[in-house]
Amino acid sequence: MSSIQEVKQRFGIIGSNPVLDRAIFKAIQVAPTDISVLVTGESGVGKEAIPKIIHHLSHRKHAPLIAVNCGAIPEGTIDSELFGHEKGAFTGAAGARKGYFEEADNGTIFMDEVGELPLGTQVRLLRVLESGEFIRVGSSKSQKVNVRVVGATNADMLGSVEKNEFREDLYYRLNTVEIHLPPLRERKGDIHLLFRKFAQDFSQKYRIPAVRLNEEAVRVLESYRWPGNIRQLRNLVEQLSVVESDRELGAEVLRSYIPEIDRSNLPARSDKAVSSAEFNTEREILYKVLFDMRADIANLKQAVQSMASGHSPDLSSHPAPSQTGLARLDAFNHPPVPVREESYTPEIMSEEETLDVESAEEGADRLSLQDLEIDMIRKAIERHRGRRKEAAEELGISERTLYRKIKQFKLG
């Protein structure tokens, strides 16, 4: 059996990241079998390398390996492309045609962006995976095929299943073994290695000296989030190799090609940097509630002091509780209800009772923004019965930010 290092050299894979090594190891292990594999990872991480490894290390290596981009084929023709059609099956079908599955018989078919398949095509694919049978478009005759399927996606497949956009039975049939490739931002130690590899490739292609980076440029390169992953890095190196006349490049040159390259250290774990607008929206909501609460406490303290001195408090000068911070925080969850008016006789509070109120006021002042934020998020989620998209809309933040907050505060 091939080692991880041998596979890297054979297929031109650069890097020593443990998650990457684990993905290659799993591909080596499943290659001799016929089980289906689902490759997951963000766009541009190099998912197409995994089916090549699996195919060329399997007993199918002498048969075809066919790659199909499911997201690039129109919905009206995808069944014909995958399973073929008979003559006259539809307008323009002048003759019978084999589909990709027939062409890949005894080999491997790599279905990239498999999450984009229409529901009708998903039913046909499930039948192929379960029984090895399919029917051409316009035919009533079932045909047998022996094909190993490797799927790939950058989408949230479980989310698609929950939304009824992808069949659950097909998902679990495809996902017999999942191989995940990490994004480039999680492979910081490999970024400069990949840069140098691409620089050498373009040096040979265009017959020019290879570009290189100084120390500052390397630090900037490795701190960037690389939303386009390896594909984006490769395109950058090609531009630098062709356009720049100097062969040693500094950080300023990188900034001219990627203006946002210095905005890479935001404490976010999503595939995109969280915008300052989202943070400002959250902060504005929390500050508004906190300031209203402080005003309520100040008014309460003033009323208590009036009562303690033997004077009836002037309640008309204070805002109604339903318009203040605490009530506003709870108003999302409970609609206002009529309050039965009752007469009361103010009592003079003792010094100890006054001190207790002041202590409560000081404790409320120490209430942290984080506690308020957790309370608001929890109530919004409860109100919408776990539907996080609707909860995020109510809170005025993005769904991605809400997911991050839920994980941060361990609310999920």
**Residues 351, 223 share a domain:** no
**Orientation angle between helical segments 18-30 and 4-11, nearest 10 degrees:** 90
pLDDT surpasses 50 at 335:
no
Question: Distance (Å, rounded) from C-alpha 288 to C-alpha 307?
Answer: 29
Specify the higher pLDDT residue, 407 or 25: 25
**Residues 204, 108 share a domain:** no
pLDDT surpasses 60 at 94:
yes
CATH number for position 233: 1.10.8.60
**Residues 140, 76 share a domain:** yes
Question: Distance (Å, rounded) from C-alpha 12 to C-alpha 217?
Answer: 25
Instruction: Report the DSSP beta bridge partners of residue 153.
Output: 40
Q: Cα–chain-centroid distance for residue 199?
A: 30
pLDDT surpasses 50 at 62:
yes
Average pLDDT over residues 5-20: 93
**Residues 82, 178 share a domain:** yes
pLDDT, residue 359, reads 52
**Residues 313, 364 share a domain:** yes
Contact 179, 27 (CB under 8 A): yes
**Residues 297, 258 share a domain:** no
Please give the residue range of the domain that contains residue 205: 186-262
Give the Cα-Cα-Cα angle 155, 156, 160 (nearest 5 degrees). 105
* Encoded tokens for 278: 């989202």
Question: Distance (Å, rounded) from C-alpha 189 to C-alpha 186?
Answer: 9
pLDDT, residue 284, reads 57
Q: Look at residue 271 and tell me if it is in a domain.
A: no
| Those residues with Cβ within 8 angstroms of residue 123's Cβ, 6 or more apart along the chain or in another chain | 167
Average pLDDT over residues 76-84: 91
| Those residues with Cβ within 8 angstroms of residue 179's Cβ, 6 or more apart along the chain or in another chain | 23, 26, 27, 37, 38, 39, 40, 50
Q: Provide the pLDDT confidence category of residue 354 given band limits of 50, 70 and 90.
A: very low
pLDDT, residue 1, reads 61
User: What confidence tens digit (pLDDT) does each residue in 119-138 have?
Assistant: 999 999 999 999 999 999 98
Q: Look at residue 341 and tell me if it is in a domain.
A: no
**Residues 144, 103 share a domain:** yes
pLDDT surpasses 70 at 26:
yes
Q: Look at residue 342 and tell me if it is in a domain.
A: no
Q: Which of 277, 245, 241, 283 is nearest to 373 (CA)?
A: 283
**Residues 213, 119 share a domain:** no
Average pLDDT over residues 266-289: 52
Average pLDDT over residues 33-37: 94
- Residue bearing tokens 């045609």: 97
Question: What is the bridge-based pairing of β-strands 177-180 and 212-213?
Answer: unpaired
**Residues 195, 174 share a domain:** no
Q: Which of 211, 191, 216 is nearest to 200 (CA)?
A: 211
Q: Look at residue 267 and tell me if it is in a domain.
A: no
State pTM to two decimals: 0.62
* Encoded tokens for 182: 């990490």
pLDDT, residue 355, reads 46
Question: Distance (Å, rounded) from C-alpha 366 to C-alpha 379?
Answer: 21
Q: State the amino acid at position 335 in one-letter form.
A: P
**Residues 82, 48 share a domain:** yes
Among residues 182, 203, 233, which one ends one of the domains? Answer: 182
Q: State the amino acid at position 208 in one-letter form.
A: I
pLDDT, residue 259, reads 86
DSSP, collapsed to helix, strand or coil, labels residue 152 as: strand
Among residues 129, 162, 182, which one ends one of the domains? Answer: 182
User: What is Dmax (Cα atoms) for the chain?
Assistant: 101
pLDDT, residue 347, reads 45
With residues binned 3-state (H G I as helix, E B as strand, rest as coil), the percentages for the chain, rounded to 5, are 55, 10, 35
pLDDT surpasses 60 at 185:
yes
**Residues 77, 207 share a domain:** no
